[in-house]
Structure 1
Amino acid sequence: MMAAQPLLTLLLLVLLVGCEAESPLLRIGTAAPAFTLNRLDGVTSHFPEQYANQVVAIRFWADWCPSCRSEMTALEPVYRQYHDRGLVILAVNVLQPAETVRPFVTQLGISYDVLLDTQGEVTRQYQVMALPVTYIIDRKGIIRTRILGESTPEVFTKEITGLL
């Protein structure tokens, strides 16, 4: 049954994206779509207003994604190094309940915010079709980079340092 979960989630992602045929394409250099999601700790996050004048990496992930796990762990030291300079990482979990997400995040020991997209609305808004994917948003709320697949700390650092 466990092997069916990734396939089911991928199918849901494809269906969710397919339902939004009229949504505009996200492009580098355009404003990042606004959203409101609950964090894993129960606090509501409002993007972009809550993160004004910060560089925000919006990462989409799920616990069944092997490269999501390794990337989340690898980016933790980068987050700690640059957080005081204005880096925020919003790790948006795709279509999983808090009961699944909480032990996974606890095991990884990450300190950046984890958001729950249990209905897939933000995933659809950001046109996510595979995991992981990361959008890097500058201090003015403009999409500057999209990283498809697993990012290394070196690539991630290179993309954010010019924006900090």
Structure 2
Amino acid sequence: MNNKRKQVVLFIRGVIASILVLGIGYAIYSNFIKDKGATASTGTNLAPNFILIDLKGNEVNLEDYRGKGVLLNFWATYCPPCEKEMPYLESAYKDYKDKGIEILAVDVGEPRILVDQFVSKKGLSFPVLLDWKGDTADLYKVQTLPITFLINEKGEIVDKITGEMTEEAVRQHLDSIVPK
């Protein structure tokens, strides 16, 4: 009986070790090897187009911003790093909007009333768009928040920033997409 118990314990340990190895392998694959960028879905650097509703009820079409540099930020009110970078985006928006730059902040999966309260509390003036179903986030293969895509005046994605940005980083990234 004692020998059989040892075999069962060893078997269970083997199963657990196998599950851990598979989990770690998948995490490495999905985060470092697999191409997660929006360009993978289009086969080009062209940013996938979308039409979303802003907080005023207006339709916003990404293609309407051709000729401008666009900082496309995916975020949510419950995300502390997202909340932290909002004042940086607001400050930069005021300084860059007359240089041919647009900031579009896409809230993923939250109700309008919650987002509207957040935007009012933070005093945000750049367009905030609502992606209730997460379709646009899926189109851009968003897996973590915040994530920011830099789109040049030709509509091409030139960079993707995962995670929170400092105010200095926001400005440096915007400098890289000011239309020529």
Instruction: Using the TM superposition, give the Cα deviation of residue 25 of structure 1 relative to its aligned residue in structure 2, in angstroms.
Output: 4.5
Please list the CA deviations of residues 72-103 of structure 1 after superposition, one character each: whole Å capped at 9, or x if unmatched: 11221111001100110110000001011100
Matched, 1:135 2:170: no
The TM-score, its normalising length taken from structure 1, stands at 0.81
The structure-2 alpha-carbon separation of the partners of 1:115 and 1:87, relative to structure 1 and needing over 3 Å to count, comes to: same
Which residue of structure 2 lines up, in the alignment, with residue 56 of structure 1?
A: 70
Corresponding pairs, count: 141
Which residue pairs with 1:100 in the alignment?
114
2:169 aligns with one of 152, 155, 158: 155
What is the 5 A alignment of 1:39-50?
Answer: 39-48=54-63, 50=64
Letter aligned with residue 123 of structure 1: A
Please tell me whether the aligned partners of residues 134 and 147 of structure 1 are also in contact (alpha carbons under 8 angstroms).
yes
Unaligned runs of 5+ in 2: 1-35
Look up the equivalent residue of 2:38 and give its one-letter code.
Answer: L
TM-score norm. by structure 2 comes to 0.74
- Higher-Rg structure is 2
Instruction: Give the whole-Å Cα distance in 2 for the aligned partners of 1:26 and 1:98.
Output: 25
Q: Offset of 1:140 from its aligned partner?
A: 0.3
Q: CA deviation at 1:162?
A: 2.9
Q: Distance in 1 between matches of 2:37 and 2:97?
A: 30
Please give the root-mean-square deviation of Cα atoms over the aligned residues, in Å: 1.7
Separation in structure 1 between the aligned mates of residue 145 and residue 38 of structure 2, nearest angstrom: 17
Name the CA distance, whole Å, in 1 between partners of 2:80 and 2:148: 15
Shift of 1:114: 0.3
Match of 2:38 in 1: 26
Which structure has the higher relative contact order (CA within 8 Å, separation 6+)? 1
2:105 corresponds to? 91
- The aligned residue for residue 133 of structure 2 is 119
**Runs ≥4 residues deviating over 4 A:** none
